A and B are shown apart, each in its own frame.
Chain A
Amino acid sequence: MRVSKLDALYAVMVNELKIISREPGGLVLLVLLPYFIAGGMAFIASFFARVTVGVFVRQFLGFEVLMLSLIMVQTGARFLWEERGGGRLEFLLVSPTGMYVILLGTSLVMVLVNIGAFTIASLPILYLNYGLVGMVKLIIALLTLFIGLLPLYGIGLLVAGIIMRLNDADTVANIVTPILTILSGATYPIYVLPWWIRGLVYILPMYQTFYSMYMEIIGNASLNLVINLVLSAIAYLSLGVTTYAALERDFRRRGT
């Protein structure tokens, strides 16, 4: 029986969803953690400045985007690293499904899970602050988040290449995570940064995602921002896929 690409993609996604749902606690954490982090920071800041609801919503949104972005960057890299460590990567490479379908399936599930977590986490805050109108704005923001998470997966594939070459996931993750965190620009005003760091913040997709979503939620949606994000998604995904293709060629040729 011949399985179509779509059937294979569906099967991979169902499989990945089953793996993720084995740990429901992890999903609960995705919802709770932004409250702990944004709440804790607001608590500290409240001793020095007046933290208004509007500021909290913006910061909460920023932390959400940052957290989901880091998860997204790690998804592809961790998947490839763990599959190789467990000796399953070789099987996947020779399976008729094809690695691109597998990677797309696993990443799409992670995108959907992240969007689900974001919706549950931000629903009460947006409803309390903006009422029912906030719900409509949330839908638009979710579409933006969907587009914004795709380039991050591309960056993740790029990181996967570095991890495989250096053969050390922890070291690479410990370098990449703080750098991406500070270059996210999602939780602070980026005008305080030197111009060259600000340039890096603009190039990376986290700030674009956060800023587009924030502008949509406060009612100042900008089409330009979304177009930039789409272009970013195309560029980073192409870069990630190209890097991964080179990596796969290497695997097949050298076996490592």
Chain B
Amino acid sequence: MQPSREISGGGALNELIVEVWRGLRLLLSRPSLILINVLTAPLWLAFFILTLRGFGVLSLGRQILQLFLWAAYAFTLYSSWLWGFGHGLIQESSEGILESLMSITRGLLNHIIGWGIAYAIYSLLDFAALIFSFYIVFGLVLEIRHPLILALSIVLASLELLLISTIYAMLVIRLRSSWVITNIMQFLMPVLGGLIPSETNKYVTLINEHSPIAYPFVLMRESALGYLEIPIPIPYQLIISLVTVLLLFVMTALLVRLFDRRLRYEGKLGLA
């Protein structure tokens, strides 16, 4: 494997754009599958609501439904980033694509960020599918009080999940049954990462307040519904989210460098 080339600003940007374009083409290459995912989303929502009925929940107010929509979006984000993006990287490694990419590009970080941006754009379709489903099933129209903060929180949440999924993929890449861990993680991580609205329980409020990865998701609900979930002003929450993303970025960059070196010089996958 040849050593990595030095990164120059313009070249790196061009490569990033190529990666984003490549990712988008790949993700949008099967429009029938996308259409089916959008069309079947209301069925999943109906199943979820029917199952709540099985547990004895007879009616849900409009405010609760709005909260459900954001919780469903948070779960979809966690699940699809871990599976689609994280396992996408694992699949690239098992198919030998990573090695080929490393020999023609400047570094893996560029590839990961480019593929991640493409995935973030693609994941907006999940959001559209959810809005469509809630409208079809409940006639619910999405409420957004502060669109700018909402857009920022979605960007921050996507960046956060891009970086977390990358670290996660590098950690589990060598395991034979990494999919088993992902299956469990997709339930555990959202609980620690702001999926559950704070008003449900005082312990949940505590988790949402003290878990740095929860902030973008809490912000999403706060900006959409227009009230504070945790007793911290919105600008501070934005700063905490931003700092978390920056720290995760530094961590990811260092780990990807380590991952890249191990693969390039020792031919070994993963960090361990």
Report A's interface with B, CB cutoff 8 A: 22-26, 28-29, 32-33, 36, 40-42, 44-45, 47-51, 55, 58-59, 62, 168, 170-171, 174-175, 178-179, 181-182, 187-189, 192
Residues of A within 8 A of B60 (CB): 48
A192-B57 contact, Cβ under 8 Å, with A171-B32, A175-B36: no
Among A36, A188, A189, A192: residue with most chain B CB under 10 A? A188
Residues A189 and B53 in contact, CB atoms below 8 Å apart: yes
Given contacts A170-B33, A178-B40, contact A40 B58 (CB under 8 A): no
Q: How far is the CA of A182 from the CA of B49 in the complex (A)?
A: 11
CA distance A179 to B55 in the complex (A): 21
> Roughly how many angstroms separate A43 CA and B196 CA in the complex, as a whole number?
10
Report yes or no: A45 in contact with B180, Cβ–Cβ below 8 A. Answer: no
The secondary-structure label for the interface of chain A is helix
Given the interface pairs A26-B177, A36-B184, A178-B43, the reply to whether A51 lies near B36 with Cβ below 8 Å is no
The CA-CA distance from A171 to B50 in the complex, in Å, is 25
Residues of A within 8 A of B64 (CB): 48
Chain B residue numbers with a CB within 8 Å of A40 are 187
B residues contacting the other copy or chain, number (CB 8 A): 30
Query: B183 on the interface (CB 8 Å rule)?
Result: yes
> Contact check: which of B43, B46, B53, B55 meets A51 at CB < 8 Å?
B55
Min Cβ gap B34→A in Å is 10
Query: Cβ of A50: which chain B residues have Cβ within 8 Å of it?
Result: 56
Contact B52 A48 (CB under 8 A): yes
Which residues between 105 and 154 of chain B lie within 8 Å of chain A, taking CB atoms? none
B47 in complex: contacting residue of A32, A182, A189, CB < 8 Å: A182
Check B180 against A26 for contact (C-beta < 8 Å). Answer: yes
Q: Give the residue among B30, B64, B183 with the most A Cβ atoms within 10 A.
A: B183
A62: which of B54, B56, B179 is its contact (CB, 8 Å)? Answer: B54
Q: Looking at the complex, which one of A24, A36, A41, A168 makes contact with B51 (CB distance below 8 Å)?
A: A41
Shortest C-beta distance, B73 to chain A (Å), equals 15
